[in-house]
Structure 1
């Protein structure tokens, strides 16, 4: 026999295990009041962590540069142990018809003609931007833009991005602040692997893709030719040559014979 007291206890247990609608017991949990939610990952911090590793790397790496409407071009990046650097850019001058290297040494930055090898012209002080008329811009991805991506004082918008085709490394979309008169970086997508190596980037001047193995860096960068006075090659295509003279005086074809 169940006493009245026992019946009351049993009834309470049954009621406590059921919802008001007669459904199964609730298994949901709630965050106690005042407990902060877990912090969401900061995309800019995640990118900066990879860029910090990239800045410490010394290597030689080959890339393919794809520009819409043009055949792919090769780019060879050399970041030496002593922090000198050189970026060889196929089709980097004269509208894609001339190959050049942009190299930086303590005494300055140089543009050198390559394939066939030519002379080198000093075009800027070390660490400075090149004049726009001769600037292929590719080199900034591997040198000065690393400092921009690391500097929290520079207004940048950073968001996770879908991996670019050909890479499985994390990618980040970067936009410079709208208030910047002269943006310190081009807008684009940057992808870095765990070793801090850029595996891909999509930028206004084209898309870079790492090709082949990354190899050890040289001790220092050597220029591919002698330093000489002269004008550097511009990035714009040279003007077309004037039309060849026909050798027939104007109006001679319509002249009537005498007699």
Structure 2
């Protein structure tokens, strides 16, 4: 009898334990246990807006790696179109020929950057090149046509996130299908790091159009392969560079006209 009761007690204990386990599972399923966090659902907010400055910087980064010879037309309001020839050589030397770039539009000049310095060269007819600044530096304002910065120093400005710039998408210029961006310097200074304007680059990093204070610059053909290095259009000479302003009108002669001979009347 004692053995039979022990067996019944064991069965009772085992059955009670099983019921307790089942009851705990049911309570958990019905929410009686610890709360279970619902699975996380990814946020479905509006897609991030494109960053115009980042889009422009991506094209400018490609532009910095390009080497080419490209012809442009510069249209200045009220004046005849001028030709601009840009050469960025394989060795990173560069030259920008500007028709009417000096003496108020009456003289053609080339600005050439080599390792030993920057030269201003008068062309058509060539009359020599004058060293006007150290390599990769700005020119004195009085002799600076400023067009060369579009293809050189301003690329670094557009890439530098530390420079405060306002960049926004802009309507295409001159019928180009390349994306265009309006750029406004964010600092007020006598000489801002870049002129305000609209710049349009194609997928290969070639500037196809730009509207800057100097006028509207437009690519006029397919760029040609770059030379190994740039050449100067004339010999290096000593002398004064040409200014961008028109020369003053010639002063009248200081010598006074000779007095008319007096005529005496005879009586």
- Aligned counterpart in structure 2 of residue 198 of structure 1, from 197, 202, 207: 207
1:235 aligns with 2:241: no
- Aligned counterpart in structure 1 of residue 105 of structure 2, from 93, 96, 108: 96
Q: Which residue of 2 aligns with 1:211?
A: 220
Q: Which residue of 1 aligns with 2:263?
A: 257
Question: What is the rounded CA distance, in whole Å, between the counterparts of 1:239 and 1:127 in structure 2?
Answer: 31
Shift of 1:167: 1.5
SS at match of 1:183: coil
Asked whether the equivalents of residues 94 and 235 of structure 1 are also in contact (C-alpha less than 8 Å), the reply is yes
Structure 1 unaligned segments of length 5 or more: list them: 1-31
Q: Which residue of 2 aligns with 1:12?
A: none
Note the alpha carbon deviations across 1:96-134, whole angstroms, 9 max, x for none: 000000000011100001111111010011111000000
- Aligned counterpart in structure 1 of residue 171 of structure 2, from 153, 159, 162: 162
Q: Which residue of 2 aligns with 1:3?
A: none
Shift of 1:169: 1.0
Question: What is the rounded CA distance, in whole Å, between the counterparts of 2:222 and 2:211 in structure 1?
Answer: 20
1:138 aligns with 2:144: no
Q: Which residue of 2 aligns with 1:118?
A: 127
Note the alpha carbon deviations across 1:160-207, whole angstroms, 9 max, x for none: 000012312111000001344531000000011111100000001111
Question: What is the rounded CA distance, in whole Å, between the counterparts of 1:214 and 1:226 in structure 2?
Answer: 27
Matches within 5 A, 1:10-25: none
Q: Which residue of 1 aligns with 2:59?
A: 50
Asked whether the equivalents of residues 55 and 146 of structure 1 are also in contact (C-alpha less than 8 Å), the reply is yes
Shift of 1:36: 3.1
Asked whether the equivalents of residues 166 and 209 of structure 1 are also in contact (C-alpha less than 8 Å), the reply is no
Question: What is the rounded CA distance, in whole Å, between the counterparts of 2:80 and 2:255 in structure 1?
Answer: 35
- Aligned counterpart in structure 1 of residue 162 of structure 2, from 149, 153, 157: 153
SS at match of 2:221: strand
Question: What is the rounded CA distance, in whole Å, between the counterparts of 2:218 and 2:42 in structure 1?
Answer: 49
Note the alpha carbon deviations across 1:43-99, whole angstroms, 9 max, x for none: 001100110111000000000011111110000000000000000000000000000
Asked whether the equivalents of residues 200 and 210 of structure 1 are also in contact (C-alpha less than 8 Å), the reply is yes
Q: Which residue of 2 aligns with 1:28?
A: none
Shift of 1:242: 2.6
In the alignment of these two chains, the number of paired residues is 225
Question: What is the rounded CA distance, in whole Å, between the counterparts of 1:154 and 1:180 in structure 2?
Answer: 13
Structure 2 unaligned segments of length 5 or more: list them: 1-40
Shift of 1:38: 0.6
Shift of 1:240: 1.0
